[in-house]
Amino acid sequence: MDSGSEPVTVAIDGPAGSGKSSVSKEVARRLGYGYLDTGAAYRALAWHVLEHGADTSDAVAVLEASGDFEYAISLDPDEYWVRVGARDVTDAIREPRISEAVSGVARVPVVRETVNGIFRGLVADSGRPGVIVEGRDITTVVAPDAPVRILLTAAPEVRAARRSAELTSHDAAAVAAALHKRDASDSKVVDFLTAAPGVTVVDSTDLDFTQTVDAVLDVVRAGTGDQR
């Protein structure tokens, strides 16, 4: 990246099971960009709050426990890790108890403001030509002025099937129910199911993984002129 130039931000939103993470990682690899999983920050904070023995549904308790929250994440799509202080929590934040707790943490306005500032700082200091930033309100709140803003979605039954395939040890019906519950809970905080003005929709319902990656790359290249 040229000295003094700002990294390109590619903002990708979408519901659970839409393929945001896997697609975003592959697009980042293809372009030589960084990859930022914003959901990991809320998961890490939920883990941190639970470690303090606090109730993640209690906004005051969340704020008190988050006072000493030290967060770090890799932007390398091939060397992904998440840390809270000196603890590697990459695997721990994917545990079911965290998935159940994360919405309570994410709905606290002060927490979202603070975490959004962390995201912007990570992009600015990435040292990469660009960063694929994926999450729930990236196109509207975190990076509303990004040159590329995408809503990646798919039909609910397709998203549930994909998530179930990822979690082979879990019952398919339970996975579908959990996904629906997560969407319903998170949608009270931010609308990630409807594209805001200027946001390009990529519907992967009838696309396989490679086709979805290519579709997103087409949008990025059109928006940035980056033909890598």
Q: List, as residue ranges, the binding site for ATP.
A: 14-22
d(CA 52, CA 64): 10
Q: Residue 51 has which token pair?
A: 């470690």
Helix (H) or strand (E) holding 31: helix 20-31
Residue 140 exposed, middle or buried by CB count within 10 Å (0-12, 13-18, 19+): buried
* Binding residue positions: 14-22
On the CB side of 212, CA atoms within 13 Å amount to 24
The pairing of strands 148-153 and 200-203 is parallel
Interhelix angle 20-31/209-224, nearest 10 degrees: 50
